[in-house]
Structure 1
Amino acid sequence: MAVLPIRIMGDPVLHAPASPVDEITDDIRTLVADMFETMDAAPGVGLAGPQVGVGLRIFTYSYEDDEGKPWRGVILNPELWMRPLVPGDPDPDDESEGCLSFPGERFPLRRSDSVLVTGTDLEGDPVRIEVDGWRARIMQHEFDHLDGIIYVDRLSDADWKTAQKIARKRGWGRPGQSWTPGIDDLEA
């Protein structure tokens, strides 16, 4: 297993829809193992294939709730259904999120409170996950990556402008930018 470089906003793979996984091969299994290692090293609660430069519809997730109960897995070729968003502005204390592809920053973003995700696991078996709260946020965030959307693309106008200023200041927003957990001094 290896910790992979994480692409930063502006890399073309992050801004294009990912392709389906046609076959579960040893290369796919190795990629998923590397994604888990990278996600844990970052540390993050999710990681999508495009974030490590692989334009495939795969994401990993890992979250420990307030009671210490772990929730961890991988989904290939996911589909997402969600409840409509509650109208209004997001609460900056309860609805802020960050991203390993826009490291070091957090912005408020309204997400659906409840989602259903289906897909397959590494054995090719069906996966069906119905979650709410923070877990629903993770699923939506990672699913967005598979459609070429970074969470800063969904921010309010004012926060989007702030994110763009940060990106310009850090030299992001162009191809080839990445960071490697454990090597570079960045984290989400």
Structure 2
Amino acid sequence: MSRPEGTVRQVIGAPHPLLSAMAESVDPTDPDVVAAAADLLATLRTEASTMGLAAPQIGLSWRLIAFDAQLHPRSRSWAGELVVANPRLARASHWDHGREGCASIAGLTADVLRATRITVLGHLPGTGEAVTIEADAFEARCIQHQLDHLDGLLFLDRVPGALSLHRRLHSCDA
């Protein structure tokens, strides 16, 4: 199956209702899902300093995430530039706080507790092939952030209080 180029879509901002809704499972072989996967990647490539996006952020209430954490200075693992349909966190360990930001929340970052080692199961759009992702450090944080979007959560929902919030000062925040 040829890989569609995708269309850059607008990233929606909070408090849009899609960002607080549970996303629906998808058929990874459905042509509309394959097209949405291409749109996610095309949009991700144009978002400066953004390492991941979830389908709800481009207006689709589907369980579909895209990520590419290769260029982030805190990355250790790299699964590639990847889109995963129906991703599921299978294992999480080694918890730590780290700074996160979000393309859907301009100007803020926060210290969020996340696992630094994870295993995620899902399927590749197009073929439907099962995929297992082992990630650590920043890539693990990025993927968990995207998984939260599929469950209607924003990183602000994981902040224990106002002292954990920060104004975004530079573009290398997560």
TM-score bracket for the superposition, by shorter chain length: 0.7 to 0.9
Pairwise CA distance, 1:139: 1.1
| CA distance 1:112–1:54, change in 2 (3 Å) | same
> TM-score, with normalisation over the residues of structure 2?
0.81
Match of 2:80 in 1: 71
Shift of 1:118: 0.2
Residues 1:40 and 1:23: Cα distance change in structure 2 (over 3 Å):
closer
Query: Shift in Å at residue 10 of structure 1?
Result: 1.1
* Alignment partners' CA distance in 2, 1:39 and 1:110: 24
70 and 113 in structure 1: CA distance in 2 versus 1, 3 angstrom threshold: closer
**CA RMSD for the aligned pairs?**
2.4
Post-superposition shift, 1:159?
Answer: 4.4
Distance 1:23 1:115, change over 3 A: closer
% identity of equivalent residues: 31
Work out whether 1:18 is the aligned partner of 2:23: yes
Q: Are residue 7 (structure 1) and residue 12 (structure 2) matched? A: yes
Counterpart residue type for residue 75 of structure 1: V
Unaligned runs of 5+ in 1: 167-187
Give the conservation status (yes or no) of the 8 Å contact 2:79–2:135: no
Q: CA deviation at 1:42?
A: 1.1
Q: Which has the bigger relative contact order, CA under 8 A and spacing at least 6?
A: 1
Larger Rg: 1
* TM-score normalised by structure 1 residue count: 0.75
Specify the alignment match of 2:114 in structure 1. Answer: 111
Distance 2:143 2:163 in 1: 22
The structure richer in strand per residue is 2
Q: Structure 2: where are the runs of 5+ without partners? A: 1-5, 168-173
- Counterpart CA distance in 1 for 2:163 and 2:34 is 37
The alpha carbon displacement at 1:131 in A equals 1.2
In the TM superposition, 1:89-100 aligns within 5 A as 90=97, 95-100=98-103
User: Aligned to 1:129, what secondary structure does the other structure show?
Assistant: strand
Q: Is 1:83 paired with 2:87?
A: no
Matches within 5 A, 1:120-159: 120-122=123-125, 123-159=127-163
Once superposed, which parts of structure 1, at least 4 consecutive aligned residues long, lie more than 6 Å away?
Answer: 67-70
Shift of 1:70: 7.6
